[in-house]
């Protein structure tokens, strides 16, 4: 207990009794102390907070008692229900009675122990983040948050700034990242925050570029990351059960989360300290597994929330996919259509936050290619903001690369390549541009969204108008929605007809002018192509060595040992070796009959060798790691050695009881012997961890000296082959990749650095690998003599490997004459939406990337063209208008083409379909590098939300 006694002028002393909730107590079902560092932090922060607010209380109450009673009443926005105040309602709390002073005391004390500072709107002196039912308030100001996920270890530190700048130009004002425990503490008590693990530098970079940050500490993160971000050593802590009311897990979780929070505080990175971090996340998608732990799960999630709040970061904590987020922790939505699926915050005082709007579907090896159209993404976001949402995060905005062995089970090395920024950091159009335009349209609607009163008008079961309006202040914004996925419709709104394409939302930031429609893309499109590098592939000379198949190992056990437990995440590989003695009576009587080997494995894949000779491989799939297979084998009289190389492709990243997952060899049976089937499952197995080349580091120049290398084969090579060569850095500045489609499975290193796993032999339904090109960061390279090493498991064709360059130099536009003009044709001038250009009309807009210029128009059709960028086609109603586009665009970095029939048809004698309406224009152009003129420049890096005057 703690008693706080304060005197107010001539009033009698008022005593309030406060009970401290010790968040780290009860770890073992009885009172216990938190880790020393965490305990010191909690006591110091709590003391500082109470002391500061004690003094503030004296000053405020003395002022109230000594001044006149002519005060304004504290008010709130009509659209809100708690804590925040409207900019039109700034004022002081009034009253002079003892009861009112006690009320004020209670409010201020609760603020002292709250995780957020409840500041008044537009109070520039208030640092920190608070919230109410409408939005977050950052440093006292309401904000719309357009956020995107960029994971610092999935990019190189040298590329962080470029990625963040591109996100900012895309209209984002916030970057979200997980914190990846297992790369920071791979060995218990040994920390690594260097290179692309430098979390502090990443957050500072975000702040330096004028953006906010969301830190998802977890510590469980899933993220399709190895072991869900949890370090392997945690799995072996005695008595541990992950993510439940387990004292061992909670102790380590508290220590790690405190470590991260203290690091952020020491570097003043929270918004309450003037830094960029506005939100933190504890746990991750717990609703998926809570039922497995029953009451213990409820206790754990309450403990996690209480513990997070006790850390006093000055910014709110969130939990995604957790319906019952405790106390002030905000529950948030993950999914594709949260406006439809999210039941809302679990308290009326919390805002609607969307932590993961999936920009694509992450890929696993063997997956059929899939994509998410940007029209669907834009619809989901516009619909969300139309229904009281004020925050959205795109997961991922840049997916990047799973370098080394960081990917979770079966997950491809390329991560969320279909995001607005692709794996190579190239802008993917139209996804990037269409979302940028959406953010600008929402920013034009900012005042109405944050202060207007909401109502919905149902015009039919398919048509709705969602309106935010505050007539007394002259602000209004409307969202007109057509929910029909197949038919375009017209809605009459305030006396005017508005055309709505199928499954779309139109945004009217003044309730009159359509500035954006989610289904009508006016931004440009692009297509990615790979070209062969002349410089890097010149004189590639491959040399080869092979692994020795072990006849025995260092660890002998009666039956095969579970692979995770034996290897401890130190390698993807574990050898199992056993032997059998056969005599002539055991051998099949007929020479054409062969014994059959039957193997049952728990995953992920396995290679089989009989007497040192490779005989075959098999694997599981993401949906079912376990598999069985049979192979005909050649056995001899005497001793036969059977060697099995069990391989993993990442550890599982999700699910209850994650610490109890198993993989590796399970059962072995030899069938077809003359004396009957022979079960070898308990025959005794030697075990050897990893590969010889891993142990000797063949992937480094020094380690490669320990092997005997010879010339490589043309065509399919041997199993367990290591290949090495040297290459020079490719020409130009385009991102680079290595083409691996004709190899099998393994890993690639450049100058000793792993670019990740490849698996080309696991084919999709289209008889193609899930991934053929693998990103090599330019930061890995030297100008000359880069050391390239490939390990291939099962006989790939090394002569087909080549270095390629990635580009998005094919740019396109596809616009209809009924599309809205470019969204930046308008701006907000106080309460009015003003035209920036005279008589805005739809236009095709093209801009080359990276200072390149348009050198050719490869397609231009006006009428009814169809297809996609890189593959446009014309039909009988489409007129070829290449000449007009060439005159307007060739030789320029960017150009605009009005959808003006007289202009486009000036060289066309007859319109083949004069009654066709609307008409559409499709343009495909090619960009090449030239010297850029002094007047050419990229768009400003200022986020669109800051372009709008409040």
Which residues are annotated as catalytic? 285, 356
Report CA Rg, the chain: 32
Neighbours of 343 (CB within 10 A): 8
Q: Are 109 and 61 in contact (CB under 8 A)?
A: no
Task: Collect all residues with Cβ–Cβ distance below 8 Å to 236 and sequence separation of at least 6.
Answer: 568
Distance CA 135, CA 55 (A): 30
Distance of alpha carbon 64 from alpha carbon 509, whole angstroms: 42
Cα gap 246→908, rounded to integer Å: 76
Before 918, cis peptide (omega within 30)?
A: yes
User: For 106, phi and psi rounded to 5 degrees?
Assistant: -60, -45
Alpha helices by DSSP H, listed for 114-225, are 160-169, 181-184, 199-208
Element (H, E) at 946: helix 944-947
Closest CA to 398 of 203, 92, 147: 147
Residue with tokens 């093209």, as numbered in its chain: 846
Positive or negative torsion for Cα 857, 858, 861, 867: negative
Query: What is the per-residue burial (b if ≥16 Cβ within 10 Å, else e) of 480-490?
Result: bbbbbeeeebe
Could you tell me which residues come within 8 angstroms of residue 739 by beta carbon, excluding any fewer than 6 positions away?
Answer: 530, 772, 773, 800, 801, 802, 803, 804
Helices (H), 836-900: 882-889
Order of strands across the sheet that contains 710-711: 710-711, 543-546, 719-727, 786-794, 745-750, 753-759
Bridging pattern class, strands 489-493 and 638-647: unpaired
Closest of 280, 149, 156 to residue 219, by C-alpha: 280
State how far the alpha carbon of 444 is from the alpha carbons of 346, 513, 829, 833, in Å. 30, 11, 10, 8
On whether the CB atoms of residues 607 and 618 are closer than 8 A, the answer is no
Contact 52, 60 (CB under 8 A): no
Cα–Cα dist 755/743, whole Å: 15
The residue ranges of DSSP E strands in 473-532, in sequence order, are 475-482, 489-493, 496-500, 504-508, 516-517, 525-532
What is d(CA 611, CA 625) in angstroms, rounded to the nearest whole number?
27
Q: Strand pairing of 920-928 and 802-816?
A: antiparallel
Q: Is the dihedral of CA 217, 222, 226, 232 positive or negative?
A: positive
Contacts of 851 (CB under 8 A, 6+ apart): 893, 929, 932, 936
Scan for tokens 């709110």, then name that residue. Answer: 316
30 bridge partner residues: none
Question: SS3 for 443?
Answer: helix
Contact partners, residue 93, CB within 8 Å, separation at least 6: 64, 71, 74, 104
The helix/strand/coil state of 83 is: coil
- Alpha carbon distance, N-terminus to C-terminus of the chain: 47
């Amino acid at each position: 207990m703690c008693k706080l006694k304060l005197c107010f002028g001539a009033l009698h002393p008022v005593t309030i009794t406060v009970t401290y909730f010790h968040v780290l107590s009860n770890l073992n079902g009885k009172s216990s102390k938190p880790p020393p560092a965490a305990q010191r932090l909690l006591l110091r922060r709590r003391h500082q907070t109470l002391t500061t607010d004690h003094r503030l209380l004296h000053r405020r109450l003395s002022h109230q008692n000594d001044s006149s009673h002519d005060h304004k009443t504290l008010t709130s926005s009509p659209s809100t229900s708690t804590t925040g105040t409207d900019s039109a309602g700034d004022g002081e709390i009034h009253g002079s009675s003892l009861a009112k002073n006690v009320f004020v005391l209670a409010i201020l004390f609760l603020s002292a122990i709250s995780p957020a500072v409840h500041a008044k709107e537009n109070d520039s002196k208030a640092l920190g983040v608070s919230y109410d039912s409408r939005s977050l308030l950052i440093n006292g100001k309401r904000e719309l948050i357009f956020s995107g996920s960029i994971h610092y270890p999935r990019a190189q530190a040298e590329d962080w700034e470029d990625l963040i700048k591109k996100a900012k130009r895309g209209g984002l004002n916030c970057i979200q990242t997980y914190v990846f425990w297992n790369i920071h503490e791979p060995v218990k008590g040994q920390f690594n925050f260097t290179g692309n693990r430098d979390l502090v530098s990443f957050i500072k970079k975000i702040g330096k570029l004028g953006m906010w940050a969301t830190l998802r500490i977890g510590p469980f993160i899933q993220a399709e990351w190895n072991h869900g971000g949890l370090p392997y050593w945690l799995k072996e802590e005695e008595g541990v059960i992950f993510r439940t009311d387990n004292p061992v897990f909670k102790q380590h979780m508290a220590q790690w989360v405190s470590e991260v929070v203290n690091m952020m505080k020491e570097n003043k990175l929270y918004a309450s300290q003037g830094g960029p971090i506005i939100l933190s996340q504890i746990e991750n998608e717990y609703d998926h597994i809570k039922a497995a732990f029953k009451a213990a799960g409820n206790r754990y999630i309450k403990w996690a929330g209480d513990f997070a709040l006790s850390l006093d970061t000055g910014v709110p904590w969130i939990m995604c996919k957790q319906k019952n987020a405790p106390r002030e922790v905000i529950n948030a939505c993950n999914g594709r259509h949260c406006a439809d699926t999210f039941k809302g915050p679990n308290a009326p005082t919390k805002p609607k936050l969307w932590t993961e709007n999936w920009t694509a579907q992450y890929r696993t090896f063997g997956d059929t290619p899939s994509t998410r159209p940007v029209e669907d993404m834009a619809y989901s976001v516009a619909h969300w903001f139309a229904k009281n949402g004020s925050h959205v995060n795109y997961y991922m905005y840049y997916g990047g690369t799973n370098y080394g062995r960081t990917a979770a089970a079966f997950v491809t090395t390329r991560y969320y390549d279909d995001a607005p920024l692709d794996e190579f950091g190239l802008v993917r159009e139209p996804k990037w541009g269409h979302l940028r335009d959406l953010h600008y349209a929402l920013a034009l609607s900012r005042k109405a969204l944050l202060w207007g009163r909401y109502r919905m008008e149902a015009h039919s079961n398919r048509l709705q108008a969602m309106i935010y309006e505050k007539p007394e202040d002259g602000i209004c914004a409307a969202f007109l929605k057509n929910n029909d996925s197949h038919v375009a419709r017209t809605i009459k709104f305030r006396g005017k007809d508005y055309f709505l394409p199928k499954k779309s939302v139109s945004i009217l930031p003044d309730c009159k002018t359509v500035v954006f429609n989610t289904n009508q893309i006016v931004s440009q499109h692009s297509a990615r192509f790979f070209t062969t590098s002349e410089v890097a592939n010149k004189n590639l000379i491959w040399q080869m060595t092979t692994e020795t198949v072990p006849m025995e190992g260092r660890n002998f056990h009666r039956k095969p040992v579970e692979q995770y437990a034996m290897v401890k995440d130190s390698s993807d590989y574990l050898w199992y070796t056993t032997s059998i003695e056969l005599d002539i009576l055991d051998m099949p009587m007929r020479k054409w009959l062969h014994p059959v080997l039957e193997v049952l494995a728990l995953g992920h894949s396995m290679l089989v060798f009989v007497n040192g000779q490779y005989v075959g491989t098999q694997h599981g799939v993401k949906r079912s790691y376990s598999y069985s297979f049979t192979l005909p084998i050649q056995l001899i009289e005497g001793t036969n050695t059977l060697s099995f190389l069990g391989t993993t492709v990442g550890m599982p990243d999700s699910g209850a009881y994650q610490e109890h997952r198993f993989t590796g060899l399970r059962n072995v049976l030899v069938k077809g012997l003359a004396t009957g089937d022979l079960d070898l499952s308990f025959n005794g197995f030697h075990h050897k961890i990893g590969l010889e080349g891993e142990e000797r580091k063949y992937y480094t120049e020094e380690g490669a000296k320990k092997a005997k290398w010879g010339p490589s084969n043309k065509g399919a090579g041997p199993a367990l082959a290591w290949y090495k060569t040297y290459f020079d850095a490719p020409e130009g500045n385009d991102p680079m990749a290595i083409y691996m489609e004709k190899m099998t499975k393994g890993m690639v290193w450049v100058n000793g650095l792993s670019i990740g796993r490849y698996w080309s032999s696991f084919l999709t339904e289209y008889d193609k690998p899930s991934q053929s090109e693998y990103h090599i960061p330019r930061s890995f390279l030297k100008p000359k003599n880069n050391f390239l090493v490939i390990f291939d498991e099962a006989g790939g064709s090394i002569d087909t490997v080549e270095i390629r360059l990635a580009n998005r130099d094919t740019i396109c536009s596809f616009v209809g004459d009924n599309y809205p003009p470019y969204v930046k044709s308008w701006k907000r001038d106080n309460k009015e939406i003003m035209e920036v250009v005279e008589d805005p009309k739809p236009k095709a807009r093209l801009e080359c990337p990276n200072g390149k210029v348009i050198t050719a128009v490869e397609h231009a059709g006006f009428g009814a063209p169809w297809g996609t960028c890189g593959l446009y086609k014309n039909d009988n109603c489409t007129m070829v208008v290449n000449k007009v586009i060439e005159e307007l665009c060739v030789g320029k970095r960017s150009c605009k083409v009005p959808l003006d029939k007289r202009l486009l048809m000036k060289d066309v004698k007859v319109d083949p379909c004069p009654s066709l309406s609307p008409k559409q224009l499709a343009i495909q152009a090619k960009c090449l590098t030239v010297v850029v003129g002094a007047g050419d420049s990229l768009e400003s890096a200022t986020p669109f939300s800051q372009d709008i005057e409040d």
